[in-house]
Amino acid sequence: RALRGVARAGGQLLSRGLRASPRCRSAMPSWVIDRYGRNDVLRFTRDMVFPTIYFPNEVIIKVHAASLNPIDLSMRSGYGATALNMKRDPLKLKSVDTEFPLTLGRDVSGVVMECGLSVSYFKPGDEVWAAIPPWKQGTLSEFVVASGNEVSFKPKCLSHTEAASIPYVGLTAWSAVNQVGGLNQNNCSGKRVLILGASGGVGTFAVQLVKAWGAHVTAVCSHDASALMKKLGADDVIDYKSGSLEEQLKTLPLFDFILDNVGGSTEKWALDLLKKWSGATYVTLVTPFLINMDKLGVADGMLQTGVTVGSKTVKHLFKGVHYRWAFFMPSGPNLDEIAELVDAGKIQPVIDEVFSFSEVPKAFLKLEGGHARGKTVINVISK
């Protein structure tokens, strides 16, 4: 990681020319949407514009595998479009205000094909993985462009199919647990951690992460996922379907940290399960940030969001606990740390089902059905 910083800082001195390998091509196969809606808006095309390096810190990756996340379903339906379009074109430089055709998919595992002038940490042929932020064109495509600081070397012990299941959920969990929640390998040992919605993509990663750091983990999921939770290292597994979840959790000792992947009514009672006046923290990944911006516009949406999180934070601070919101944050350096944990055998991919590139609509339907145990992966290059 130190090398990464040095290499990037000195990128201008070590710069290489742009590789022209794929330049003879102007189009590539992709799954795109031309409007927001349900699954019928997905369209396969062989004529998607080939990605271009616009900034010197960018790389083009040949996609070997990708995976789906709930945000792909949300983006297909138009959720967050106001905020994402502002991020895509903040200065309103485009004469036509459209994001289409839009490629979905956030996770990629693949091979670097081309590097911008200031990229010295990677070279063509390197096997890498990344999570592409939602305001950029996605990974359900033959090639994708990413910033060098979003990319990391793929764990050596994983295939591309396995590796593609981790980046987005891994970085989302890392953001919630480490950057917002303040937990790390030095302070987590012996802490009691509760994970609500533990059998989904973020949950299965979070269980393994805090367990690797020495926490006592209580996982909440349905009964049919309990064996998986035990396999991933959970100490206690609570079935939310067998009676009142609130009452079941109240019989346990209080917690130091709660990660909420569920939201809704859980927020009304979950904070009462924390140890008071001890620095205990509740972090939720279910926030109204993008909904507010879609409904109220950018300025009023951000104001409403700020008022909401501010008032909740202060209210719970008076009760002796910390209340926080967390979001996915792209980060190559954090993926470096995750790769180390994977290669050390402390985190394993949890894959529910693998689909071929021709089966992308089927994969979306699978994800939409819910109750997945881990991730839905797409092999973009057929084996």
How confident is the model over 302-319, as pLDDT tens digits?
888 888 888 888 888 889
What's the mean per-residue pLDDT of the chain?
91
Mean pLDDT, residues 16-25: 48
Average pLDDT of 39-47? 97
The amino acid occupying position 351 is I
Helix (H, G, I), strand (E, B) or coil at 128: strand
Indicate if the pLDDT at residue 383 is higher than 70: no
Q: What pLDDT score does 95 carry?
A: 63
Q: Is the dihedral of CA 260, 265, 268, 272 positive or negative?
A: negative
pLDDT (0 to 100) of residue 24: 59
Average pLDDT over residues 270-274: 97
Residue 160: pLDDT band (50, 70, 90) is: very high
pLDDT at 9: 40
User: Mind spelling out the 3-state secondary structure of 276-296?
Assistant: CCCCCEEEECCCCHHHHHHHH
**Edge-to-edge strand order for the sheet containing 322-325?**
236-239, 216-221, 192-196, 257-260, 281-284, 322-325
Contact 331, 287 (CB under 8 A): no
Contact 270, 324 (CB under 8 A): no
The first and second tokens of residue 28, run together, are 């590539």
Q: Which helix (H) or strand (E) holds 129?
A: strand 127-131
List the structure tokens of 225: 């996922």
Residue 184 has pLDDT above 90, yes or no: yes
Q: Before 288, cis peptide (omega within 30)? A: no
3-state secondary structure (DSSP) of residue 274: strand
**Least confident segment among 136-145, 198-207, 314-323:** 314-323
Q: For residue 297, what pLDDT is reported? A: 80
User: What is the C-alpha to C-alpha distance for residues 229 and 139, in angstroms, rounded to an integer?
Assistant: 29
Percentage of residues in the chain with pLDDT exceeding 70? 93
Which of the residue ranges 82-86, 143-147, 158-162, 356-360 would you say has the lowest mean pLDDT?
Answer: 82-86
- Rounded to 5 degrees, what are φ and ψ at 156? -65, -30
Q: Look up the pTM and report it.
A: 0.92
User: Which residue would you say has higher pLDDT here, 94 or 47?
Assistant: 47
What does the pLDDT average to over 231-251? 96
User: Which residue carries 């396995």 as its tokens?
Assistant: 162
For residue 6, the model assigns a pLDDT of 44
Q: Which of 358, 351, 352 is nearest to 159 (CA)?
A: 351
In whole angstroms, give the CA distance from residue 176 to residue 163.
21
Which residues partner with 143 through β-bridges? 62
Is residue 15 exposed (0-12), middle (13-18) or buried (19+ Cβ within 10 Å)? middle
Q: What is the pLDDT of residue 1?
A: 59
pLDDT of residue 79: 87
Q: What residue ranges in 2-88 does DSSP mark as E strands?
A: 27-33, 42-49, 58-68
pLDDT at 135 (0 to 100): 95
Q: How far apart are the first and last CA of the chain?
A: 32
Amino acid letter, residue 359 = E
The domains of the chain, with CATH numbers, are: 27-166+347-379 (3.90.180.10), 181-325 (3.40.50.720)
> Among 16-25, 119-128, 266-275, where is mean pLDDT lowest?
16-25
* Residue-level pLDDT at 93: 73
pLDDT at 295: 82
pLDDT given for residue 20 in this prediction: 41
Task: Please spell the DSSP secondary structure of 172-219, one letter per residue.
Answer: HHHIIIIIIT---TTT-TT-EEEEESTTSHHHHHHHHHHHHTT-EEEE
Model pLDDT for residues 209-227, shown as the tens digit of each residue: 999 999 999 999 999 999 9
Question: What is the CB neighbour count within 10 angstroms for residue 54?
Answer: 8
Q: Rounded to an integer, what distance in angstroms lies between the CA atom of residue 133 and that of residue 91?
A: 19
- Given a contact cutoff of 8 angstroms between Cβ atoms, the answer to whether 66 and 107 are in contact is yes
State pLDDT tens for residues 191-201: 999 999 999 99
